[in-house]
Structure 1
Amino acid sequence: MTRRPPSPPRLPNGAKARAPLVLSALETLYPDARTELVFRNPFELLVATVLSAQATDVSVNAATPALFARYPDAVAMSQAGPEDIEPLIRTIGLYRGKARNLAALARLLVERHGGEVPDDFDAVVALPGAGRKTANVVLSNAYGFPAIAVDTHVGRLARRLGLSVQTNPDRVELDLQRLFPRERWVFLHHALILHGRRICLARRPRCEACLMQDFCPKVGV
């Protein structure tokens, strides 16, 4: 007897009806939503995304010009040790661990991928300091792949807006993929982040300024 695969967890009540309303509101508020990380090529985006873990995009953007001036590509950075990178990213949280990851990441890019950032999900996830979120950010923004990267903002808003009850980022990602058109996944990711930074704040959400207050199940929470 063939065992049937387990059904995905049930979505919150009303999630399917609420999703198009959420998307419409986000399109009105942030029609040009995109990443706030500054980059010129896939390598710079990969490095900036690794640096952005538990750090603000503002702090990353302030540090990367000097970093990229010194190490413009993976080949150049592969020649550096963590002690060379640390002074250039000292203003970013967890900079020592990130310096170790960047040095190792650059070496692997040279050894395995000819110094180029691969356009393959598993290959990016395998790089030091990268993970599912980093791979989704890089593949969607550098190569145009449809993806939803779930960070703290996306996860928080997904739960507040009644789109998911999951706390695991991977499961939140799957819920959002089930609710929204594939061609809007990248926009959704960026728009939810902007909304989480500007309106739906973690501690004191500005519900009075939100276009979603009429259908948000957790107004004021």
Structure 2
Amino acid sequence: MNKTKRIAILERLRENNPSPTTELNFNSPFELLIAVLLSAQATDVGVNKATHKLFAVANTPQAILDLGLEKVREYIKTIGLFNTKAVNVMKTCEILVNNYNGQVPENRDALESLPGVGRKTANVVLNTAFKWPTIAVDTHIFRVSNRTNLAPGKNVVEVEEKLLKVIPDEFKLDCHHWLILHGRYTCIARKPRCVSCIIEDLCEYKEKTN
């Protein structure tokens, strides 16, 4: 895909959604970190239902530790892999309290060292909470980037590196949200909704649907 077409796609996505953000509910970097940690193999809707109740009683690392593992499990039991996630939440909170004065570090290596936090989660927190021009690549963004030919790659790391290389700086902060929302609601996995797609004429996908 050439630069002119790529910019045209980003301009349309920006015009359609000038101020995109995550669909996870949060009021602090810590709440966002926990929500993203819980979101692996789960829907944002499901995570929001659980964190709405959890954060009402405990929304800081120390408060989570005071709540205890069993009660944290009870609050998030509707989320997939909740047992493992509950343990990771507790371990993460312990590290935040002991090493970072209860604050979420604005540092990639520090974030990725937290239990249950990988590169994608770190990218989301850095981008959404701290306004870094990072692009977290999940299954939706991987699919959209390859399907449209915006930034094709064989794996999520390749796609991330390509996006960071070809996306102009003015679009980088919001690119993650535009692409994930586009993949979630329009360029869906089984059958993309090409007829209602605002970038259909710019997309280079060869098997467009009617």
- Tell me the TM-score normalized by structure 2: 0.93
Equivalent position amino acid for 1:207 in 2:
C
Preserved CA contact (<8 Å) 1:161 1:217: yes
Paired residue for 1:54, among 22, 33, 41? 41
**Match of 2:20?**
33
Count of residue pairs brought into register by the alignment: 208
Q: Distance in 1 between matches of 2:186 and 2:147?
A: 13
**Match of 2:70?**
83
Equivalent position amino acid for 1:44 in 2:
E
Paired residue for 2:79, among 86, 89, 92? 92
Deviations 1:20-77 (A, max 9, x none): 1210221132222111111111110100010111111111111102111222200121
Please list every run of 5 or more consecutive structure 1 residues that lacks an aligned counterpart in the other structure.
1-13
Deviation at 1:118, TM superposition (A): 0.5
Equivalent position amino acid for 1:185 in 2:
K
Q: How does 1:131-146 map to 2 (within 5 A)?
A: 131-146=118-133
**Match of 2:135?**
148
Preserved CA contact (<8 Å) 1:78 1:110: no
Identity %, equivalent residues: 45
Q: Would you say 1:187 and 2:197 are equivalent positions?
A: no
Please list every run of 5 or more consecutive structure 2 residues that lacks an aligned counterpart in the other structure.
none
**Match of 1:6?**
none
- Tell me the TM-score normalized by structure 1: 0.89
Preserved CA contact (<8 Å) 2:111 2:122: yes
Deviation at 1:182, TM superposition (A): 2.4
Q: Distance in 1 between matches of 2:145 and 2:32?
A: 25
Equivalent position amino acid for 2:84 in 1:
G
Deviation at 1:15, TM superposition (A): 4.2
Task: Using the TM superposition, name which of 15-24 and 64-73 deviates more.
Answer: 15-24
Task: Using the TM superposition, name which of 78-87 and 207-216 deviates more.
Answer: 78-87
Q: Distance in 1 between matches of 2:89 and 2:125?
A: 15
Q: Distance in 2 between matches of 1:181 and 1:61?
A: 32
Task: Using the TM superposition, name which of 162-171 and 45-54 deviates more.
Answer: 162-171
**Match of 2:155?**
168
Deviations 1:103-161 (A, max 9, x none): 10000101111111001111011101101111111111111111111111111000011
